[in-house]
Amino acid sequence: MLRLHDYLPSQNAYKVRMLLGHLGLDYETVPVAIFRGESRTPAFLRMNPAGAVPVLETAPGRFIAESNAILCYLAEGTPYLPEDRFERAKVMQWLFFEQDYVQPSIATVRHWAMTGKLERNAAQTPGRRAAGERVLDLLERHLAEHAFLAECCYSIADTAVFAYVHRAEEGGFDLSIRPSLRAWIDRVAAQSDPLPPVYPYSIDPYSHRSLPVEPEVKAS
């Protein structure tokens, strides 16, 4: 059985749970207390050298890290990742967009807002918030003309971007002024019956902490 090494409030892990639900795949959840250092242990770093969740264990000793890489692995051979070369590249375009633009802005500000870290990151917050507004405006323009991000169909591109964007208001972003984006959120939500639950950071009493730095790996 697949094993998902997971931190429940993580929307990166949420993406994977969402696709697993689409595909009707059974899996075992392995909780990882990231703010208590469990993702920075030598054992975890052997699964993912970056020390981050989620990690998908496809078989004993076989691990895939990075949420969008996991989406690609799971979606292979399904309608969520097109076979056509151009259409597949368009899906990849939005997966890279999500990592390069959504994560550093919307995802980061939301995390800081929900875990009491805005004040300690006050110097960075205005720039990241402004970047997030630009991302949402870009999505609004694109989705005013397209039902889904990759144009061909609903795909893992939508799954990836949806994870943090549909929770953007928790970071102080206004979705009500972006009707095309709101309509897209409703279309993506309609693909799941039901959507996976979103877990607040408040379920983790340690989420106010900064992530610990991984230990130095010494040569053996």
Sketch the domain layout of the chain as residue ranges.
2-77+197-203, 85-189
Q: 204: phi > 0 → left, psi -120 to 50 → alpha, else beta; which?
A: beta
Please report the pLDDT score of residue 212 as a whole number.
Answer: 81
Percent of the chain with pLDDT over 70: 96
Class of domain 85-189: mainly alpha
Q: Is the pLDDT of residue 216 over 50?
A: no
The encoded tokens of residue 176 equal: 């009500």
Q: pLDDT-derived band of residue 83, with 50, 70 and 90 as boundaries?
A: very high
Model confidence band, residue 214 (pLDDT cutoffs 50, 70, 90): low
* CATH superfamily to which 2-77+197-203 belongs: Glutaredoxin (3.40.30.10)
**pLDDT tens track for 128-180:** 999 999 999 999 999 999 999 999 999 999 999 999 999 999 999 999 999 99
Counting residues of the chain whose pLDDT is more than 90, the rounded percentage is 95
Nearest in space to 74 (alpha carbons), one of 4, 165, 163 = 4
Comparing 43-47, 183-187, 211-215, which segment has the lowest mean pLDDT?
Answer: 211-215
